[in-house]
Structure formats: C-alpha cells, structure tokens
Amino acid sequence: MNLQSDLAKVRGLGSAKEGTHHFWHQRLTAIALVPLSLWFIVSLICVMDAPHAQVVEWIKAPYVTALLIALTFVLLYHTKLGLQTVIEDYIHAEWLKLASIIGLNLGAWLCGLVSIVAILKISFGTN
C-alpha cells in the first residue's frame, strides 16, 4: 500500500524545461539553412564544370570559406537536434537512449571537426 498522494508520485517527473529551447534551436537552424543551402546549390552549379584549380581558388575566397563553415556548423547542429528528438521519442531503454545520444554528440562533433579542418586546409593551403 502506497501512502503517497498523486502529487507526490509525479513530483520531479515533469518538464525538464528543455523542450522550448530545443524547439527554437531546431526552427532557427532550419531558417538559417534556407539561404545557406540556396547559396551552396547555386554556387555548386556555377563551379560544376570548372577545373579543380578554379574550384580550389573559389573555396579560398574568404566569404566562401566562412559560408562553407557556417553551412557545415548549422547543418550538423540541425541534424543533431533532429536525430536527438527521434532517439528520445523512440528509444525507451534508458541506457540505450543515453548511449545513443552520447554517440550522436560525439559523431556530430567529429564530423564537424573533420569538415571544418578540411575546409580550412583547402582555404589556407598552397597550390
């Protein structure tokens, strides 16, 4: 027999106050991805038939380097937020949920680091 009231049973199980923050970050990154993606697609179309050396020179332009890094960061962060929501909603074993979120975070950071280092290597490299 449990003598706890209904309120005592659910106390501490409520909102973690993280949902709104996560929701707004997801929406803001989606909005940021629209112009970045459009720029990237148009730019790729423009340099699609260019020789390798010309594409490298294009990437070396400071604004292109900055936009590529911004696109990489925003895209990976948006992807991480979306996949984290899927993991939280559909994985019910707590240990597996925690391991999946840790793996997701490590994977996102690793992909971001490798991508940004590659962009900077091209941008600051010599021909």
Among the listed residues 69, 81, 67, the one whose alpha carbon sits nearest the alpha carbon of residue 30: 81
Q: In the Cβ-directed half-sphere of 121, how many Cα atoms lie within 13 Å? A: 6
Q: How many domains does the chain have?
A: 1
pLDDT digits (tens, 9 = 90+) for 62-99: 999 999 999 999 999 999 999 999 999 999 999 999 99
pTM over 0.85: no
Which of residues 17 and 60 earns the better pLDDT score? 60
- Confidence band of 12 (pLDDT split at 50, 70, 90): low
- Residue 21 is predicted with a pLDDT of 85
Place of tokens 């112009």: 35
Cite the DSSP H helix spans in 48-93. Answer: 52-60, 62-90
Residue 13 maps to a domain: no
- Residue 125 is predicted with a pLDDT of 84
CATH code of the domain covering residue 109: 1.20.1300.10
What CA–CA distance (Å, rounded) separates 73 from 96? 26
Residue 34 maps to a domain: yes
Residue 78: count other Cβ atoms within 10 Å of its Cβ: 18
- Confidence band of 22 (pLDDT split at 50, 70, 90): confident
Q: Pull the structure tokens for residue 70.
A: 């911004």
Residue 2 maps to a domain: no
pLDDT digits (tens, 9 = 90+) for 30-68: 999 999 999 999 999 999 999 999 999 999 999 999 999
Beta strands in the chain (DSSP E): none
Q: Pull the structure tokens for residue 40.
A: 């990237």
3-state class (DSSP) for residue 1 = coil
